[in-house]
Structure 1
Amino acid sequence: MTTKRKANSSLETPEFKRGTTTSVKDVQKLGMEIENEAKYNNFTILIDQLEKIISKLKFKKDANLESEGRKIVSILFKNFKILFGEGKLKKTKNQDEETKIVINWIITKNDRFKGILLELLESKLSYETSLQLDALDTLLNILRIEASYTKVFPTKTYQSIVKVLLNGQNGVILPDGLSNSFVLLEFIESFFVKYWDLQFYFFSNLPNILKEWKSSLAPDKLQLIYANFITIIRNKLLFDTNEEELKSKSTWISQTYLSSIYKFNLFKSQFQKSITTILSYPLTISQYKTTLLILHKRVIPFMSQPQGLMDFLTDLYNLQEQNEDSSEWEDANEELDHSMIPILTLNSLYELMKNHNLEYPDFYTKLYSLLDSNLLYTKYRSRFFRLVDLFLSSTHLSSNLVASFIKKLARLALTASASGVVMIIPFIYNLLKRHPTCMIMLHNTNIESINDPYNNLESNPMNTNAINSSLWELETLMNHYHPNIATLAKIFKEPFKKPNYNLEDFLDWSYIKLLETEQSRKYKVQTTALEFEEFNSALNVKHGSANDDEDEVSKNILLESWCM
């Protein structure tokens, strides 16, 4: 072995020793020579050169260096693949001492090559390079090679890839709480969403890694890790409780080596631990919002015990109350962002209450408190009204409770936008049809005072005294400035023979849609009244003629009227 290394040292020309950038032709020549066992030291030369290229690309953009780096990665992968096939990266008992030394040396170089590729994925270069995408492809292809010779999924190598993707320096947190890392997005689009085994083993050892990061990294770094994580899982997983259906899903590694990926309980358990651990990270408001938007569809169905999210969801549902007595909001937008969190929590809470026996005390009291003036100006109002309609659908609810919701919504309609009022009117109509005991509010003859008995400041809907009030707000809406709303509100003057409104027809209305409706309206009278008298000019009125002794008099009546 010593003799071979001396022979190979002749390859280290002064050009390489000085660290001068090589050409693609030099790289190709070194790659071809590696096929000769006496030229194995070319591995060292090429790996050293790749490290130098990466260090230079961190500070400046260089297309030639990038092209050379891509060529080196391709050549090294090709030659290591050949050595894998020849069994020169695998130790056996029958090998002599000299062969073991050679194999150990090759394994060391292969590990160093993988380490450089992992560093390349994790590092932020001076620009987004194809070299980093090549590194991702190469590492995942190495997974296939290792699996074909070890006959098991190479979890250690894959977990190293997962770690650098989640804790990489590429990308920043976007306003919606997600990550824009181009390497991560390529991994998701080309690999993660397509192959079930990559999804299964993604979570296999992740809980321990996440716990380690939580105790050692700063909050801003943890937020970036979470941004990368939520960007990955926001796409629906391939998991299916039907084993035959799951076995039909594509896998990156041959299914011959993947017996454990069809253990449903194991996957759900690891997924549960990963979710509960990472949700304990310090997140931004935008990340909470993004999480809650997908939690009930992308997370809860894949957990072994969704009840583990009860504390997380109830804390977020009470977030607004927790901050009312604290310091004032820095601005109106921050207050609005915080007020949206409990609304977005409703979907997941409903899922837990419906399917997992969650008991939430004073649920309707909290739901009632979410009805405020900001609600009708948010983009999540449609989602909220769908759920409230569901929560108030039971005919066994107290009439005092339902009356409070009806009265509160009617009061909010007085100051809401036109598109918001369009939702409230059919919503109230449906509630009155569903709960006939509240009909008295339309025409309450028992009111003796001109003061409204409804207590708008009462937080408990059972104690607002709304049932003894009247819906005078609806009478006001009949004189709304927008004719469509005024016409819609007059439905309360008619007998309640109309079937329930389909709320979906009203939930997505906006000012633009209202204007488009008016613009496309067809009127019965198609003709328009016109002036019957003809004039030669629009503004100038001439008196007299050219034959008159007096000069022609010209009066611009309209212009004189507007003269300053």
Structure 2
Amino acid sequence: MPGLTDKASVPKKRKKSSRDKETAVPSSKRRAVAEDEGEDVMEKLQELEEQIAESRKYYNNIATLISMLNVGESATEPDLAVAVSLCRVFCRLIAGGNLTEIPRAAESEKIIVAWLKERCHEYQKALSAILRQADPSAQITALTLSMRLINARATHISGTETQVWTTGFFKDVFQSMVEARDGQVLQSEFMEKFLTQYEDVRYYTFVQIFEYAEARRSPEVLELLISMLSACDSPPQPDHEFEGFYCKSLQKIKNLVSVNSHKKRAQEAWLAVLRNSISESQRKGLLRIMSHTIAPWFNRPELLMDFLTDSYNVGGSMSLLALSGLFYLIQEKNLDYPQFYQKLYSLLDADVLHSKHRSRFFRLMNTFLSSTHLPATLIASFIKRLSRLALNAPPTAIVAIVPWIYNLLKNHPTCTFMLHRTVRDEEWKAELEAEGMEDPFDPDELDPTLTNAIESSLWEIETLQSHYHPNVAALSRIISEQFTKQAYNLEDFLDYTYQGMLLAELGTEEKMKKTPVVEYQIPKRIFTDRLLEEDGGHDTAPGRMLRELWDFS
């Protein structure tokens, strides 16, 4: 007899929800429905546009379009088709003079113009919100629409050619772009498509950066401002013809076709950034581009002197980076830096030979000391200081120091007395051989003209001739040979690295003439606590000191 069916075990039929009904529709049909809806929306937008262009009685369609834009508090999912439609509407109205108030117009006309201005301002606020909060593709679209609207206002509304750029909508666009959420793509688009392409956009960007950087800003914002200014790497030449304008009507403005005016605005923008709270890494980056990117924009480069002097006085790698900017001002602008060589001499320490900026420093120092009019006592101090530092320097630095010293001795023959000094007095010679002598060089003296280096000798270079690295030892011997070579090219030695030295050794095909000795006595034990009887029980057996210094428990 069959048993009773358990009603609880029988699955109940549930009603299909609206979502289930949608998923039940084939994908091809859903696509067709979506396409039909999209076509309906576009037709509606086109109809609203045409009605606005047809008659004033349809101006309320503008408010309808703004409500369809879907820009609330978040502005994360705006309707870009509506935004494009509104841009076309306002550009037509601006070109037709509908947003320009006529002085003797009727009161009703003034009311209409004021209402249109309010709607346009509302649309501009919506675009700014999209720039700040939307996704990158929507931000780029909003940027393009904003620039078109700015162009229309500057072209067709009299009296606002520069106002829309300085205090008007472009100011809002700039601030929204700088403060945009995840705005890296947007900012790159602005720099690539507008800032570096159009001279009027560049000019007014300088104005906005100056005003924006006057207040204290975060390091992230300052990094963006530095990137914008660095993108404009070369200033216009005195004979430059200004032709690349985004807004053609601005070509008649005198300041925008003046080289000095462009450089003045860039100078103000750079100074505002330099005076802000920049980080140490940003300061180093600015010093790297100072001489070839920043300084050429300045009509008064002496304004950079405080920034460079403060950086130079920091010491270390910061001082090394500030050298090129200071040298640019000294060489190109005839500016004087008091006690320049004394400060340069103080930078010669052990850290500079281990710094990643060592090659840059040697290039600059070679330029600073190239003049044959410098006193021999000054040159001798630099030679002696580097010779002393070479005793503890890495091989990659020594191979640059020795040719550099050779070139200095060749250019300043007076200093060659430091190579070899003959003692003619036999009594003094015997005393020196018996007791030796003290080096007259004073390494603690800060003034390079008072170190007595010219009275000393380069015994350090002779010591390097016994260096463990064969390349360093061979190179150091050039000081002991006749100076037949006119000069060495420092570029062949400055970029010498450990990797290059290793590859040179591994790549050699020469066989070793003698097998190197690795260990002359092989210990029987290292880590054992007790010694075996065959060791004699002495505490001096191999490994005793190691066990005392470390605990291996």
* Interval of TM-score (by shorter of Structure 1 and Structure 2): 0.7 to 0.9
Q: Is 2:294 the counterpart of 1:299?
A: yes
Corresponding residue for 2:456? 469
Corresponding residue for 2:117? 107
Q: Is 2:127 the counterpart of 1:117?
A: yes
Q: Is 2:66 the counterpart of 1:47?
A: yes
Match of 2:478 among 473, 491, 494: 491
Mark the CA change 1:366 to 1:24 in structure 2 (over 3 Å): closer, same or farther: farther
Contact 1:195 1:251 in 2 (8 A): yes
Mark the CA change 1:181 to 1:450 in structure 2 (over 3 Å): closer, same or farther: farther
Match of 2:378 among 396, 401, 419: 401
Mark the CA change 1:246 to 1:289 in structure 2 (over 3 Å): closer, same or farther: farther
Secondary structure, counterpart of 2:237 in structure 1? coil
Report the alpha carbon displacement of residue 462 of structure 1 after superposing the two structures with TM.
1.8
Structure 1 Cα separation of the partners of residues 447 and 469 of structure 2: 34
Structure 2 Cα separation of the partners of residues 287 and 109 of structure 1: 42
Greater alpha carbon shift after TM alignment, 265-274 vs 74-83: 265-274
Corresponding residue for 1:162? 174
Mark the CA change 1:26 to 1:108 in structure 2 (over 3 Å): closer, same or farther: farther
| Alpha-carbon displacement from aligned partner over 1:418-453 (angstroms, at most 9, x marks no partner) | 222222111111111111111122223459444332
| Alpha-carbon displacement from aligned partner over 1:306-328 (angstroms, at most 9, x marks no partner) | 111212211221123xxxxxxxx
Greater alpha carbon shift after TM alignment, 264-273 vs 389-398: 264-273
One-letter amino acid of the structure 1 residue matched with residue 74 of structure 2: S
Q: Is 2:198 the counterpart of 1:195?
A: yes
Structure 2 Cα separation of the partners of residues 387 and 293 of structure 1: 13
Report the alpha carbon displacement of residue 341 of structure 1 after superposing the two structures with TM.
1.1
Q: Summarize the alignment of residues 492-507 of structure 1 with structure 2, pairs less than 5 Å apart.
A: 492-507=479-494
One-letter amino acid of the structure 2 residue matched with residue 253 of structure 1: C
Structure 1 Cα separation of the partners of residues 512 and 152 of structure 2: 77
Secondary structure, counterpart of 2:294 in structure 1? helix
Match of 2:152 among 145, 148, 156: 145
Mark the CA change 1:91 to 1:56 in structure 2 (over 3 Å): closer, same or farther: closer
Segments of 5+ residues of structure 1 without an aligned counterpart are: 1-22, 58-64, 172-179, 215-220, 321-338, 530-564
Greater alpha carbon shift after TM alignment, 302-311 vs 93-102: 93-102
Contact 2:308 2:326 in 1 (8 A): yes
Mark the CA change 1:297 to 1:425 in structure 2 (over 3 Å): closer, same or farther: same
Q: TM-score, normalised by structure 1?
A: 0.74
Secondary structure, counterpart of 1:282 in structure 2? coil
Mark the CA change 1:92 to 1:30 in structure 2 (over 3 Å): closer, same or farther: farther
Corresponding residue for 1:263? 258
Moved over 6 A (4+): none
One-letter amino acid of the structure 1 residue matched with residue 373 of structure 2: H
Corresponding residue for 2:245? 251
One-letter amino acid of the structure 2 residue matched with residue 139 of structure 1: S
Q: Is 2:127 the counterpart of 1:133?
A: no
Q: Summarize the alignment of residues 213-252 of structure 1 with structure 2, pairs less than 5 Å apart.
A: 213-214=215-216, 221-237=217-233, 239-243=235-239, 245-248=240-243, 250-252=244-246
Match of 1:414 among 385, 388, 391: 391
Contact 1:233 1:298 in 2 (8 A): no
Contact 2:94 2:157 in 1 (8 A): no
| Alpha-carbon displacement from aligned partner over 1:249-307 (angstroms, at most 9, x marks no partner) | x2222264454312223223333233223211121100100111112111211112111
Structure 2 Cα separation of the partners of residues 489 and 480 of structure 1: 9
Structure 2 Cα separation of the partners of residues 482 and 246 of structure 1: 59
One-letter amino acid of the structure 2 residue matched with residue 158 of structure 1: F
Corresponding residue for 2:331? 354
Q: Is 2:405 the counterpart of 1:391?
A: no
Structure 2 Cα separation of the partners of residues 358 and 190 of structure 1: 38
Q: Summarize the alignment of residues 424-443 of structure 1 with structure 2, pairs less than 5 Å apart.
A: 424-443=401-420
Structure 1 Cα separation of the partners of residues 187 and 368 of structure 2: 40
Contact 2:51 2:58 in 1 (8 A): yes
Structure 1 Cα separation of the partners of residues 195 and 207 of structure 2: 14
Corresponding residue for 1:72? 82
Q: Is 2:32 the counterpart of 1:36?
A: no
Mark the CA change 1:207 to 1:444 in structure 2 (over 3 Å): closer, same or farther: same
Contact 1:458 1:464 in 2 (8 A): yes
Report the alpha carbon displacement of residue 169 of structure 1 after superposing the two structures with TM.
4.5
* Number of aligned residue pairs: 458
Secondary structure, counterpart of 2:484 in structure 1? coil
Contact 2:251 2:257 in 1 (8 A): no
Report the alpha carbon displacement of residue 231 of structure 1 after superposing the two structures with TM.
0.7
Contact 1:91 1:100 in 2 (8 A): yes
Q: TM-score, normalised by structure 2?
A: 0.76
One-letter amino acid of the structure 2 residue matched with residue 275 of structure 1: W
Match of 2:310 among 307, 312, 315: 315
Match of 2:278 among 258, 280, 283: 283
Secondary structure, counterpart of 1:36 in structure 2? helix
One-letter amino acid of the structure 2 residue matched with residue 301 of structure 1: P
Contact 1:43 1:76 in 2 (8 A): yes
Choose 1 or 2 for highest CA Rg. Answer: 2
| Alpha-carbon displacement from aligned partner over 1:351-376 (angstroms, at most 9, x marks no partner) | 11122232211111111111122212
Contact 2:400 2:494 in 1 (8 A): yes
Mark the CA change 1:495 to 1:343 in structure 2 (over 3 Å): closer, same or farther: same
Report the alpha carbon displacement of residue 377 of structure 1 after superposing the two structures with TM.
2.3
One-letter amino acid of the structure 1 residue matched with residue 478 of structure 2: I
Report the alpha carbon displacement of residue 235 of structure 1 after superposing the two structures with TM.
2.4
Contact 2:234 2:297 in 1 (8 A): no
One-letter amino acid of the structure 2 residue matched with residue 88 of structure 1: N
Match of 2:500 among 504, 513, 517: 513
Secondary structure, counterpart of 1:35 in structure 2? helix
Structure 1 Cα separation of the partners of residues 328 and 181 of structure 2: 36
Structure 2 Cα separation of the partners of residues 266 and 52 of structure 1: 39
Report the alpha carbon displacement of residue 201 of structure 1 after superposing the two structures with TM.
2.0
Structure 1 Cα separation of the partners of residues 474 and 225 of structure 2: 50
Segments of 5+ residues of structure 2 without an aligned counterpart are: 1-36, 424-428, 516-553
Secondary structure, counterpart of 1:481 in structure 2? coil
Structure 2 Cα separation of the partners of residues 422 and 161 of structure 1: 55
Percentage of identical aligned residues: 34
Structure 2 Cα separation of the partners of residues 237 and 98 of structure 1: 52
Structure 2 Cα separation of the partners of residues 286 and 278 of structure 1: 14
Mark the CA change 1:526 to 1:443 in structure 2 (over 3 Å): closer, same or farther: closer
Report the alpha carbon displacement of residue 55 of structure 1 after superposing the two structures with TM.
0.6
Contact 2:383 2:405 in 1 (8 A): yes
Report the alpha carbon displacement of residue 124 of structure 1 after superposing the two structures with TM.
4.8
Structure 1 Cα separation of the partners of residues 197 and 437 of structure 2: 67
Report the alpha carbon displacement of residue 98 of structure 1 after superposing the two structures with TM.
2.8
Mark the CA change 1:347 to 1:132 in structure 2 (over 3 Å): closer, same or farther: same
